[in-house]
């Protein structure tokens, strides 16, 4: 049995007891009121369910299990997954144990490549990635055990088994999507000497003479891992998993949400915007030129990708971490220099325009420029990388929810007529 599973076996009874005591003592206490505007406004700000893996505060951003993100950016993705799930910073032995599990399950079955190769050439990499995940749904142990009549107390165990099995394959699946979609040759097999993120760099087949691309991918996969429970992808996965759809279905559902331009797809839009700027000016523009360019874009009714957020009201710490990486490793690069200039120019413009509640950059404003620098230039692919990482948060959340016995999601909708006569 994996060390992570053993650790959860110890912790889950305590988590269940805490939740049950809280429901007994404070079950009728109110934590939110709902206004008419919220019913028409994306349910923004309504406190309606629990997510313990991470939280996002308006002025700090992402906090993973009580650790503000900027204090733990050194963690490997494997370490952050254990932290998300268990609440503990892992020991070296626990990390090595998870890495062994990943190696055991890393091979992507050939039928997945056959399916992906048969898709039309203009299929989006996100559609291919999600198709790959759905094609593997037949591997779900959770679904098999459910059909055999597993006990409710065992749901989380098979959810975890599927989750680890799936996470193990995601770097390979992502790299394979890249190679097939962009005609880079056959998918490359996993190397058992490398860790999860290093393997992605190995399997995508892009040269990394300095080793810095591997470092970037370690931090990239770490930073995107989770963003509490109410964002589109996490909430979609939460809802689908609550129907006891297995992790393959539920992660895929979440990632279909991540594929939206207001959510994860913004990172491809963001780099495209930066490249459009460079294409327009044929060089890094002056501050005045970029200011005018940004106003023109806003005035034409388009958003500035990579800026704004539904919850944050400060520069996203994930952006800050990427900028730090870029400033340490990248010098004299037009794309990264434009990203830096945008950070000077865009917030005051959005403040002056007065529409966006948050004028600051989000996670997507810088990440693409770093990938581009290391040779991953096909920005249509970027959301797939976001997905590889975000699947960790989704899996962690669904394991905990099954452990706590969270029932099927079913909020109540109301009609316009009901609102008119009841408010």
Interface residues toward ligand HAX, by CB under 6 A: 262-264, 266, 298, 303-310, 355-358, 362-364
Whole-number Cα distances in Å, 175 to 43, 186, 420: 36, 10, 52
Whole-number Cα distances in Å, 244 to 34, 167, 232: 28, 19, 19
Tokens of 331: 């010098």
Can you say whether the dihedral through the CA atoms of 81, 100, 211, 189 is positive or negative?
negative
- Does the active-site annotation cover 74? no
Q: Which residues pair with 62 in a beta bridge?
A: 56
Q: What are phi and psi of 401, to 5 degrees?
A: -65, -35
Query: With 0-12 CB in 10 A as exposed, 13-18 as middle and 19+ as buried, what is 70?
Result: middle
Chain Cα centroid distance, residue 286: 34
Minimal distance, residue 241 CB to ligand HAX, in Å: 20
Query: Given the complex with ligand HAX, which of 106 and 363 has the nearer CB atom?
Result: 363
Minimal distance, residue 364 CB to ligand HAX, in Å: 5
Minimal distance, residue 319 CB to ligand HAX, in Å: 10
Helix, strand, coil content of the chain in percent (nearest 5): 60, 5, 35
Minimal distance, residue 291 CB to ligand HAX, in Å: 14
- What is the chain's alpha carbon radius of gyration, rounded to the nearest angstrom? 22
Rounded to whole angstroms, the Cα distance separating 18 from 23 reads 9
Chain Cα centroid distance, residue 338: 25
Rounded to whole angstroms, the Cα distance separating 199 from 135 reads 22
Q: Running DSSP on this structure, what letter comes out for residue 109?
A: P
Minimal distance, residue 8 CB to ligand HAX, in Å: 28
Residues 65, 66, 67: CA angle, nearest 5 degrees:
95
Minimal distance, residue 146 CB to ligand HAX, in Å: 31
Query: Given the complex with ligand HAX, which of 95 and 365 has the nearer CB atom?
Result: 365
- Does the active-site annotation cover 88? no
Q: What region does 149 belong to: left with phi over 0, alpha with psi -120 to 50, or beta? A: left
- Does the active-site annotation cover 364? yes
Please name which of 311, 226, 269, 223 lies closest in space to residue 126, comparing C-alpha atoms.
269
Rounded to whole angstroms, the Cα distance separating 361 from 27 reads 38
The number of residues making up the chain comes to 423
Minimal distance, residue 260 CB to ligand HAX, in Å: 9
Edge-to-edge strands of the sheet including 67-68?
54-57, 61-64, 67-68
Tokens of 266: 């913004």
Catalytic residue among 309, 316, 329, 334: 309
Query: Given the complex with ligand HAX, which of 242 and 358 has the nearer CB atom?
Result: 358
Tokens of 303: 């958003």
Q: Which residues pair with 307 in a beta bridge?
A: 361
Query: Given the complex with ligand HAX, which of 335 and 363 has the nearer CB atom?
Result: 363
Catalytic residue among 162, 263, 316, 337: 263
Residue closest to ligand HAX when measured from CB atoms: 308
Q: What are phi and psi of 403, to 5 degrees?
A: -65, -35
Which of the residues are catalytic? 263, 309, 364
């Amino acid at each position: 049995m994996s060390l992570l599973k053993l650790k959860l076996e110890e912790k889950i009874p305590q988590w269940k007891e805490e939740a049950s005591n809280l429901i007994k003592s404070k079950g009728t206490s109110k934590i939110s009121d709902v206004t008419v505007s919220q019913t028409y406004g994306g349910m923004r700000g309504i406190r309606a369910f629990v997510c313990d893996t991470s939280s996002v505060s308006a002025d700090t951003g992402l906090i993973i299990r009580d650790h503000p993100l900027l204090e733990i950016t050194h963690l490997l993705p494997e370490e952050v997954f254990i932290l998300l799930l268990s609440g503990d910073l892992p020991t070296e032995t626990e990390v090595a144990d998870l890495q062994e599990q990943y190696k055991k399950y890393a091979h992507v079955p050939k039928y997945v490549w056959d399916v992906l190769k048969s898709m039309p050439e203009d299929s989006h990499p996100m559609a291919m990635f999600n198709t790959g995940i759905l094609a593997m749904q037949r591997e779900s142990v959770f679904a098999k055990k459910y059909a055999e009549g597993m006990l409710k107390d065992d749901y989380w165990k098979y959810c975890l088994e599927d989750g680890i099995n799936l996470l193990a394959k995601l770097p390979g699946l992502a790299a394979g999507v890249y190679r097939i979609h962009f005609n880079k040759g056959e998918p490359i097999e996993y190397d058992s000497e490398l860790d999860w993120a290093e393997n992605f760099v190995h399997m995508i087949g892009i040269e990394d003479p300095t080793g810095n691309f591997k470092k970037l991918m370690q931090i990239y996969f770490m930073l995107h891992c989770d963003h509490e429970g109410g964002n589109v992808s996490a909430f979609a996965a939460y809802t689908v998993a609550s129907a006891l759809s297995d992790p393959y279905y539920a992660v895929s559902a979440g990632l279909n949400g991540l594929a939206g331009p207001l959510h994860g797809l913004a990172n491809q839009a963001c780099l495209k915007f930066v490249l459009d700027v460079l294409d327009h000016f044929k060089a890094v523009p002056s501050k005045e030129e970029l200011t005018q360019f940004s106003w023109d874009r806003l005035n034409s009714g388009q958003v500035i990708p990579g800026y704004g957020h539904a919850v944050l009201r400060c520069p996203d710490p994930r952006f800050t971490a990427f900028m730090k990486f870029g400033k340490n490793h990248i010098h004299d690069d037009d794309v990264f220099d434009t990203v830096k200039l945008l950070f000077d120019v865009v917030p005051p413009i959005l403040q002056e325009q007065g529409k966006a509640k948050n004028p600051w950059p989000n996670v997507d404003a810088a990440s693409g420029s770093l990938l581009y620098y290391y040779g991953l230039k096909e920005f249509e692919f970027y959301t797939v990388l976001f997905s590889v990482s975000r699947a960790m948060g989704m899996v962690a959340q669904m394991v905990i929810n099954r452990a706590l016995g969270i029932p099927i999601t079913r909020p109540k909708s109301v009609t316009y007529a009901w609102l008119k006569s009841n408010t």
